[in-house]
Amino acid sequence: MIRKTFSVPPLGCNCSIIGDPVTKQAIVVDPGGAPERILQEVRAMGLTVVSILHTHAHFDHFLASGAMKQTTGALLCLHPDDLPLWDMLETQCRMFGVPYVPAPSPDYWLKDDERLSIGEIEGVALHTPGHTPGSMSFHFPAAKLLLAGDTLFRGGIGRTDLWGGDFDAIEQSIRERLYTLDEQTAVVTGHGAETEIGRERETNAFVRA
């Protein structure tokens, strides 16, 4: 698996490019901003983006999605429970004082436990609501890799005081869907440092096993 993760403005969302070294197919997860930077990375790695996946529809995770789709032709994928948030992008930008960039509607609705195929790489989309109603985590078992979006952070969890946030739901998602994964699974979080499932299970300040 080819993977590159880097933070993008305006809020330092971690954007990931995951590619199959054999077929050169790739997905981009959470293009939160700086589309030219993301496209430059994709080109430098010689990859073709087939899908653009979103862990959730907070503005800082999809402000570059429209530009990415326009250039690559890739499908925009989202869990349907986050469509109301996607549709209030302008309101979200205004509330956080960030310039509004319109995004086209999602093209494809992700489902819980849906298989993800990137060339020869297999993954699973996990519905992990709580931070938002449609929050997803993307698991790649063979690579022991989880992209958790804003559901799980190193030492913390996503805030649940924004639109549709639910503490009980995020706690249940983390316990039942994430802490049940192999403890050596590396976790790419939505913002900041990466972590591991085993580490969070034992030391997370909010949800422990």
Binding stretches for Zn ion (CB under 5 A): 58, 60, 150, 190
Closer residue to Zn ion (CB): 60 or 196: 60
Closer residue to Zn ion (CB): 89 or 121: 89
Nearest approach in angstroms of CB 59 to Zn ion is: 9
Nearest approach in angstroms of CB 182 to Zn ion is: 25
Instruction: Please report where in the chains the tokens 């913002």 appear, as a residue.
Output: 191
Closer residue to Zn ion (CB): 20 or 150: 150
Question: Which residues, in sequence order, are CB contacts of 170 under 8 Å at separation 6+?
Answer: 128, 129, 130, 131, 135, 151, 157, 158, 160, 207
Nearest approach in angstroms of CB 1 to Zn ion is: 24
Q: Which residue is nearest to Zn ion (CB)?
A: 58
Say if CB 42 and CB 4 are below 8 A apart: no
Question: 177-202 burial, b if ≥16 CB within 10 A, otherwise e?
Answer: bbbebeeebebbbbbeeebbbeebbe
Pairing mode, if any, of strands 75-78 and 108-109? Answer: parallel
Closer residue to Zn ion (CB): 19 or 138: 138
Nearest approach in angstroms of CB 184 to Zn ion is: 25
